[in-house]
Structure 1
Amino acid sequence: MIIIACFGLAATSAHLAKSQGATGDNVLNFANWGDYIDPALIKKFEKETGYHVNQETFDSNEAMYTKIKQGGTHYDLTVPSEYMVEKMAHDKLLIPLDKSKLSGMNNFGSDFMNQSFDPGNKYSIPYFWGTLGIIYNDKFIKPGTIKHWNDLWSTKYKGQIMLIDSARDIMGMSLVSMGKSMNTTDTPTLAAAKAKLDTLSPNVKAVVADEIKMYMENNEAPLAVDWSGEASEMLYENSHLHYVVPTEGSNLWFDNFVIPKTAKHMKAVYAFLNFMSDPKNTAQNTDYVGYATPNNKARALLDKSVREDKAFYPDEATMKRLEVYKDLAPTVVGKYNDMFLEFKMFRH
Structure 2
Amino acid sequence: MKKLALLSGVILFFCLLLGLGSSALNETPKESGKVLNLYNWGDYIDPSLISEFESETGYHVVYETFDSNESMYTKLKQGSNHYDLTIPSDYMVEKMKNDGLVQPIDKSKLNFLNEMDSSIMGLSYDSQNNYSIPYFYGTLGIVYNDQYVDGAKLQSFTDLWRVDYRHSMMLVDSARDVIGLSLISDGHSLNTTDNSLLKQAKEKLDKLAPNVKAIVADEMKMYMIQNEAAIGVTWSGEAAEMLKNNEHLHYVIPKEGSNLWVDNFVIPKSAQHSDAAYAFMNFMMRPENAAKNSVYLGYSTPNVLAKQELEKTQDPVLAFYPTADQMKHLEVFEDLGQDAVQTYNDLFLEFKMYRN
Fold match (TM-score > 0.5): yes
The secondary structure found in structure 2 opposite 1:288 is helix
Q: Determine the C-alpha separation between the residues in 2 that align with 1:101 and 1:244.
A: 38
Q: Distance in 2 between matches of 1:289 and 1:212?
A: 16
Which residue of 48, 55, 70 maps to 1:47?
55
What is aligned with 2:165? 157
The DSSP-based 3-state class of the residue aligned with 1:251 is strand
Hey, what does 1:126 align to over in structure 2? 134
Query: How far 1:34 moved relative to its partner?
Result: 0.8
1:194 aligns with 2:166: no
Q: 1:35 maps to what in 2?
A: 43
Code of the residue aligned with 1:65 in structure 2: it is Y
Unmatched segments (≥5 aa) in structure 1: 1-20
1:203 maps to: 211
Q: What is the match of residue 313 of structure 1?
A: 321
Pairing partner for 1:81 from 84, 89, 97: 89
* 1:105 and 1:277 in contact (8 A); partners too: no
Contact 1:158 1:203 in 2 (8 A): yes
Aligned match of 2:291: 283
CA contact (8 A) 1:45 1:272 kept: yes
Quickly say closer, same or farther: Cα 1:102–1:272, change in 2 above 3 A.
same
The aligned counterpart of 1:304 is 314
Paired position in structure 2 for 1:267: 275
Tell me if structure 2 keeps the 8 A contact 1:94–1:260.
yes
Distance 1:325 1:195 in 2: 22
* Equivalent runs, 1:319-330 vs 2, <5 Å: 319-330=327-338
* Cα offset, 1:313, TM superposition: 1.1
CA-based RMSD? 1.3
Map 1:1-348 to 2 at 5 A.
23-302=31-310, 303-306=313-316, 308-309=318-319, 312-347=320-355
Amino acid at match of 1:259: I
Rounded Cα–Cα distance in structure 1 between residues aligned with 2:330 and 2:196: 23
Whole-Å Cα distance in 2 between the matches of residues 314 and 326 of structure 1?
Answer: 20
Question: CA–CA distance in 2 between the matches of 1:23 and 1:62?
Answer: 32
* Bigger-Rg structure (1/2): 2
Instruction: Give the whole-Å Cα distance in 2 for the aligned partners of 1:254 and 1:130.
Output: 7
Normalised by the length of structure 1, the TM-score is 0.91
Amino acid at match of 1:183: N
Cα distance between partner residues in 2 of 1:25 and 1:80: 25
Q: 1:23 to 1:194 in 2, by over 3 A?
A: farther
* SS state at 2:295 partner: helix
Change (3 A) 1:72 1:179: closer
C-alpha offsets along residues 191-222 of structure 1, whole Å, 9 cap, x if unaligned? Answer: 11111110001111011111211110000100
Tell me how far 1:23 sits from its aligned partner: 4.8
Query: How far is the alpha carbon of 1:288 from its aligned partner?
Result: 1.0
Give the equivalent residue in structure 1 for 2:5: none
Matches of 1:105 and 1:59, distance apart in 2: 28
Aligned length: 326
Shift of 1:273: 1.0
Q: Percent identity?
A: 59
1:304 alignment partner AA: Q
How far apart, in 2, do the equivalents of 1:28 and 1:232 lie?
A: 30
Q: Give the CA deviation at 1:154.
A: 0.6
Of the structure 1 ranges 204-213 and 250-259, higher mean CA displacement relative to structure 2 is found in 204-213
